[in-house]
């Protein structure tokens, strides 16, 4: 066992020598230790959520995970499983949520959220350039932080970075900056929602348009209520589609600015455009189609909700345990200040447009 592995985590699963021989060296065998740690923390967080319903299970999973990782970073043996929990398990959880919504509801929610969604995105991208330039943040980093805040966090950053030719350091800075405010949103947004007396649907729209990353949207909305979570997921997934037009515009602008040989980003093909749409968005729509056909019995809804919530908790436990606070400190203050400005701006614009168009 690695000396850097937390004793608390080590007790959550058997060491490699007692894993079944058939699993040793296999992809599943490499994932099991980290997944077991995330599941163990999710079980604890679920118990906390049941004891303190207003807190939910998502917030304890992220906070406790980050606290454990700060005291002692999980060893290399845990990393593959923790990363898998924070990515694939979360995506599966979002897809499962589609079984609770019909396509009609998805279209209705998406259309109703468009004014808030487009307004927050436009303001965020403009403020990112203006405020970022004033703070002395480099052009590529401004674009990455603005796209991550305005669309969908790390997914948007990953999609935009190859198009604008961003260097690895800028990508790391942007993701670290976005992560800070993802965690802050999980804790702060439910408090803001209760203070303003937002309904479940109003909070779902707020979280879906003002939180950066899908995991944090789900975490914040789940802490507010199951109806808010369902609504926020649809809004967020519709918002995620905005990656495609933003990336296409950036590709055109970048090509015009970079005319020297060898500096233009890779040409976007139709297949490349399709690949910008996350697979779990398509899976979510497929699950919603199944529900629309009446193939999901009504009595299964509580069970589906429970499974999805637990998978979300597992994913957030993995994200929390993967937190690298030293890396966040190394990003320096300017990107963090820009991230804070954009986070507050998008939050205020989201609430303002929603209040103006719907009256909450």
Q: 309-335 pLDDT, tens per residue?
A: 788 788 878 878 887 766 656 656 888
Spatial separation of the C-alpha atoms in residues 354 and 71, rounded to whole Å: 41
Spatial separation of the C-alpha atoms in residues 116 and 354, rounded to whole Å: 6
Going by C-alpha positions, the residue among 94, 31, 93, 90 that lies closest to residue 62 is 90
Using DSSP, state whether 1 is helix, strand or coil: coil
Going by C-alpha positions, the residue among 97, 81, 84, 89 that lies closest to residue 281 is 97
Q: Which long-range contacts (CB under 8 A, 24 or more apart) does 41-44 make?
A: 41/12, 41/65, 41/68, 41/317, 41/320, 41/321, 42/310, 42/313, 42/314, 42/316, 42/317
Give the pLDDT of residue 346: 94
Grade residue 305 by pLDDT with cuts at 50, 70 and 90. confident
pLDDT of 231 > 60? The answer is yes
- Is 121 or 13 the better-scoring residue by pLDDT? 121
Spatial separation of the C-alpha atoms in residues 215 and 315, rounded to whole Å: 8
Going by C-alpha positions, the residue among 110, 279, 272 that lies closest to residue 204 is 110
Percentage of the residues of the chain whose pLDDT score is greater than 90: 22
Enter the pTM of the model.
0.64
Task: Give burial (CB, 10 Å; 0-12/13-18/19+) of 208.
Answer: buried
Cα-based torsion angle of the residue sequence 199, 205, 209, 212 in order, rounded to the nearest 10 degrees = 60
pLDDT of 275 > 80? The answer is no
Q: 105-118 pLDDT, tens per residue?
A: 778 877 888 889 88
Could you tell me the CA-to-CA distances from 341 to 139, 345, 355 in Å, in that order?
A: 16, 6, 21
Contacts of residue 15, Cβ cutoff 8 Å, sequence gap at least 6 = 1
Task: Give burial (CB, 10 Å; 0-12/13-18/19+) of 356.
Answer: exposed
The residue count of the chain comes to: 360
Grade residue 159 by pLDDT with cuts at 50, 70 and 90. confident
Going by C-alpha positions, the residue among 180, 158, 111 that lies closest to residue 329 is 180
- Is 182 or 348 the better-scoring residue by pLDDT? 348
Spatial separation of the C-alpha atoms in residues 214 and 53, rounded to whole Å: 22
Distance of CA 209 to the CA centre of its chain: 12
Query: And the tokens for 31?
Result: 């994932």
Spatial separation of the C-alpha atoms in residues 325 and 281, rounded to whole Å: 30
Spatial separation of the C-alpha atoms in residues 125 and 342, rounded to whole Å: 9
Q: 75-113 pLDDT, tens per residue?
A: 888 989 998 887 788 778 878 877 877 788 778 877 888
Query: And the tokens for 29?
Result: 């065998």
Spatial separation of the C-alpha atoms in residues 91 and 195, rounded to whole Å: 31
pLDDT of 8 > 80? The answer is no
Cα-based torsion angle of the residue sequence 218, 223, 225, 227 in order, rounded to the nearest 10 degrees = -10
Using DSSP, state whether 213 is helix, strand or coil: coil
Query: And the tokens for 217?
Result: 């949207």
Spatial separation of the C-alpha atoms in residues 173 and 179, rounded to whole Å: 10
Spatial separation of the C-alpha atoms in residues 288 and 286, rounded to whole Å: 5
Mean pLDDT rounded to a whole number for the chain: 79
């Amino acid at each position: 066992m690695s000396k850097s592995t937390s004793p608390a985590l080590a007790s959550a699963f058997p060491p490699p020598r007692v894993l079944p021989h058939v699993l040793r060296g296999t992809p599943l065998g490499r994932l099991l230790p980290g997944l077991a740690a995330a599941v163990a923390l999710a079980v604890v967080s679920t118990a906390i959520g049941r004891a303190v319903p207003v807190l939910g299970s998502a917030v304890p999973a992220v906070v406790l995970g980050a606290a454990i990782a700060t005291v002692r970073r999980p060893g290399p043996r845990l990393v593959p499983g923790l990363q898998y929990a924070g990515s694939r398990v979360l995506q599966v959880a979002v897809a499962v949520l589609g079984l609770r919504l019909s396509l009609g509801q998805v279209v209705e929610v998406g259309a109703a959220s468009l004014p808030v969604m487009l307004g927050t995105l436009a303001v965020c991208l403009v403020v990112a350039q203006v405020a970022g330039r004033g703070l002395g943040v480099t052009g590529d980093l401004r674009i990455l932080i603005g796209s991550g805040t305005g669309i969908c966090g790390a997914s948007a950053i990953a999609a935009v970075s190859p198009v604008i030719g961003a260097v690895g350091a800028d990508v790391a800075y942007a993701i670290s900056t976005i992560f800070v405010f993802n965690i802050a949103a999980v804790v702060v947004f439910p408090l803001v929602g209760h203070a303003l007396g937002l309904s479940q649907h109003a909070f779902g729209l707020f979280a879906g348009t003002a939180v950066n990353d899908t995991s944090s949207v789900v975490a914040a909305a789940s802490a507010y209520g199951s109806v808010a979570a369902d609504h926020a997921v649809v809004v967020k997934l519709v918002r995620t589609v905005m990656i495609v037009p933003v990336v296409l515009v950036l590709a055109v602008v970048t090509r015009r600015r970079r005319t020297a040989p060898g500096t233009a980003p890779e040409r976007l093909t139709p297949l490349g455009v399709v690949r910008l749409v996350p697979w779990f968005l398509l899976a979510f729509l497929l699950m919603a189609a199944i529900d629309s056909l009446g193939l999901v019995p009504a009595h299964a809804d509580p069970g589906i909700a429970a499974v999805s919530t637990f998978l979300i908790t597992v994913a957030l436990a993995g994200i929390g345990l993967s937190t690298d606070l030293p890396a966040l400190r190394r990003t320096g203050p300017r990107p963090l200040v820009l991230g804070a400005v954009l986070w507050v701006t998008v939050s205020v614009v989201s609430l303002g447009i929603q209040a103006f168009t719907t009256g909450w």
